[in-house]
Amino acid sequence: MDAARHSGGAGRIWRLVGQRLALGLLTLFVVSLVIFFATELLPGDLAREILGHTAPETAVQALRDQLGLNDPAWLRYWNWLTGALRGDFGMSLANRRPVGELIAGRLGATAFLAVYAAALAVPLSLALGVLCALWRGSLFDRVANAVTLGSISLPEFFVGYILIYLLARNGLFPSMVMLTPGMGLAEKLHVAFLPALTLTLVVTAHMMRMTRAALINLLASPYIEMARLKGLSPLRVILRHALPNALAPIINVVALNLAYLITGVVVVEAVFTFPGLGRLMVDAVQNRDIAVVQAVALIFAAAYVLLNLLADVLSTLSNPRLMHGR
């Protein structure tokens, strides 16, 4: 009986993964259409922008033929999509290098910054959420809510400039991040602290408030009252009984904010000149390097879809009723 129930739960998980994966692929296809044709709607002639307004018309037409700009839009989209599926995003017009090489050199830096910020934000948010639920209505609860709401209400670039003024002006941390191949982990953590702290302050409020709300909602449940009547301490009641049952909404909001840490680094990397995908995308927009813009946008979309898929699966695993149909 238990084996059959376990098999049924595993089957539901695989069906969920298959459904979410199919939906994610469909979403990525739609996003790829939006990315490609949105860049197609940009004003101006790309070949003319590259060669300059004084270039002869014959040179402009030759470059248009070379770039495939005279082909129909659907054909150019198909060539771009099939190339992206093979890992070939085309050639950067500004750097005259394959886009894949440019992305490979920046992807590790962006992943490092996102993991660094997540390592700061997730434990901090969960701890603050648990403490605010434990001391609901206290001075600590009100101050924590006010500070986190204030940080999330400010734009990322403004938070970054405030941190630069407070922590970089006196030389504690660098305001411009330079990562070199021979740099050790401790040095990387030091030079990347300000952008990581900026992202942490931006996403902490969402996760903290969701943790607090989920726990407070469960604290009124009958089984929580029974645990209290048994003489368990408030902290033990929250950690052992309330928190495990509040994991599903917490996992969802954590995954969404982790996705933001990857896709929302564009502004933060621009403020701190961080050598990641966000900075690469800003430079590509300034240089009208369409191939790089399309590739980075597609990578950000894929990361967001994958993290949402992971959140759905983990939320289901954390809820036995969804696992066993009860």
Residue 250 near residue 214 (C-beta atoms within 8 A):
yes
DSSP secondary structure letters along 196-241: HHHHHHHHHHHHHHHHHHHHHHHTTSHHHHHHHHTT--HHHHIIII
Residue 160 near residue 180 (C-beta atoms within 8 A):
no
Of residues 320 and 290, more confidently modeled: 290
What global pTM score does this model have? 0.78
> From residue 72, how far is each of 36, 79, 242, 298 by CA, in Å?
13, 11, 58, 21
pLDDT digits (tens, 9 = 90+) for 54-82: 667 677 677 677 666 667 777 878 888 88
> From residue 155, how far is each of 69, 149, 150, 261, 300 by CA, in Å?
38, 12, 10, 14, 20
Q: Quick check: helix, strand or coil at residue 152? A: helix
DSSP secondary structure letters along 108-140: HHHHHHHHHHHHHHHHHHHHHHHHHHHTTTSHH
Exposure string of 130-163, with b = 16+ CB inside 10 Å and e = fewer, is: bbbbbeeeeeebeebbeebeebbeeebeebbbeb
DSSP secondary structure letters along 21-56: HHHHHHHHHHHHHHHHHHHHTSSS-HHHHHH-TTS-
Residue 98 near residue 176 (C-beta atoms within 8 A):
no
Mean pLDDT of 139-147: 86
pLDDT digits (tens, 9 = 90+) for 8-28: 556 677 777 777 788 888 888
Residue 255 near residue 108 (C-beta atoms within 8 A):
no
Instruction: Decide if pLDDT at 2 tops 60.
Output: no
Instruction: Decide if pLDDT at 1 tops 50.
Output: no
Show the tokens assigned to 142. 């009100």
Q: Which amino acid is at 53?
A: H
Q: Which amino acid is at 155?
A: P
pLDDT digits (tens, 9 = 90+) for 79-119: 888 888 887 787 777 677 888 888 887 888 888 888 898 88
Query: Could you give all domains of the chain from N- to C-terminal order, each with its CATH number?
Result: 98-316 (1.10.3720.10)
Instruction: Decide if pLDDT at 163 tops 80.
Output: yes
pLDDT digits (tens, 9 = 90+) for 260-304: 777 777 888 888 888 888 888 888 887 777 888 888 888 888 888
